[in-house]
Amino acid sequence: MRRLTVALALLLLPRVAAAIPDYCYDYNDQDHDGYVYGLTGAVCPRDDCDDHDPNVHPGATEVCGDGIDQDCDGHDLPCGPVDADGDGYLPVSGGGDDCNDSDASVHPGAMEICGDGKDNDCVGGDLMCAQDADGDGFGAVASGGLDCDDTRADVHPHALEVCGDGVDQDCADGDPPCQADIDGDGHGNPTMGGDDCDDFDRGTYPGAVEVCGDGRDQDCDGQDLPCGLVADADGDGHDRIEAGGDDCDDSAPGVYPGAAEVCDDEIDQDCNGRDLSCGSLSGDADADGYLSFEAGGTDCNDNDAAAYPGAPEVCGDARDQDCDGRDAVLGVDEGCSVLPPTNPAFKDAPVVVLGGEAAPESCRAVGGSAGLWWLAVGLVALTWRRRR
């Protein structure tokens, strides 16, 4: 009984919603599709164009070319060309330009694959595969490729040209003579002491903008940038260094220049080249009398008591003792002098000091007081051996 009540309610629902009298459906919906073919006109609507076919009514699916107006729009849908393989291109037989409408990989603009027996791009036949005897990825010129010497894997259109060796590595215009800066990009030829990794390409030099996936190393970092590599992978607003940015770790959103540094966590959050020492936050961790940068002071390395503004600079040790922003260079910075260490055994290993206090007497020369002491010890030892 309950199922019958629900069925009756569903049957009566469209009638109530449309405010159409029940007798309109009783006498004017012969195919029971819910649409009326009204005979009285003013009272009962006439929206079913064929009251003997339940598949014909407004909104029904139209079948093309069958001579039936299924959706009651006044005409049958004409049948046109069909894209059978769903590649977005109509067949040639239907006025389109798809030369094989049964294969979705074949259509105008598709990548042509040599030697597969298909005209993938519909230009008129399959592409002949060029022979690649040296396996460098470039076919020989004789077989339609671009490799000018298919016996050498280091010779192909993307190879790095070496000047003056008699070989045309990049298959361009022969072997060029060596010059200091052949491409004029301001970076010298590596064979002449420069840092340009490709001195035949003006767009290639250290610091150049890298183009992903082109097989070239524009910024001379030793590799091409993969196109799948996102410039700002961690979304912190700073691009990775490989993409020309300043983010020293593009996998961590909390690491970028200017980020808040966390002390002693072995992470360089602010990309300044070092982790923050928690001791430096107290003021003077190395007790050299100078406060750290983090505490508002001027000590450039609060973990090294020998580093502070005005400290004696040691030349060439890769440390900035006097906090002037760089290490001193012997022969360039004034005040560098060579002082031997105290132990004569290491007198050939000079210590270079720039400025600051004078060296202790024991450090000045082998001939000083320390040198005389060691000389006396040596004489005594020699005399003792002779007496034995």
pLDDT one-digit tens code per residue, 207-233: 888 887 788 889 898 888 777 667 788
Contact 315, 333 (CB under 8 A): yes
Q: β-pairing, 351-354 with 313-314?
A: antiparallel
User: Given pLDDT bands bounded at 50, 70 and 90, which one contains residue 357?
Assistant: very low
pLDDT more than 90, % of the chain: 14
Task: Please give the residue that has the higher pLDDT: either 38 or 44.
Answer: 44
Comparing 36-50, 71-85, 236-250, 257-271, the range with the smallest average pLDDT is 36-50
Handedness of CA 210, 214, 218, 223 (dihedral sign): positive
Measured CA to CA, the distance from residue 204 to residue 110 in angstroms comes to 32
On whether residue 319 sits in a domain, the answer given is yes
Measured CA to CA, the distance from residue 292 to residue 286 in angstroms comes to 9
Question: Domain span at residue 281?
Answer: 277-326
Contact 132, 114 (CB under 8 A): no
Both 322 and 372 in a single domain?
no
On whether residue 302 sits in a domain, the answer given is yes
pLDDT at position 262: 87
Report the predicted TM-score, pTM, of the whole model to 2 decimal places: 0.27
**Number of structural domains the chain divides into:** 3
| Structure confidence by residue, pLDDT tens digits, 5-16 | 434 443 444 443
pLDDT at position 385: 56
On whether residue 378 sits in a domain, the answer given is yes
Residue 98, SS3 per DSSP: strand
Closest CA to 205 of 182, 232, 228: 182
Which of 38, 58, 78 is the last residue before a domain boundary?
Answer: 58
On whether residue 157 sits in a domain, the answer given is no
Q: Is the pLDDT of residue 305 over 70?
A: yes
| Structure confidence by residue, pLDDT tens digits, 273-303 | 888 777 666 678 788 888 887 777 888 888 8
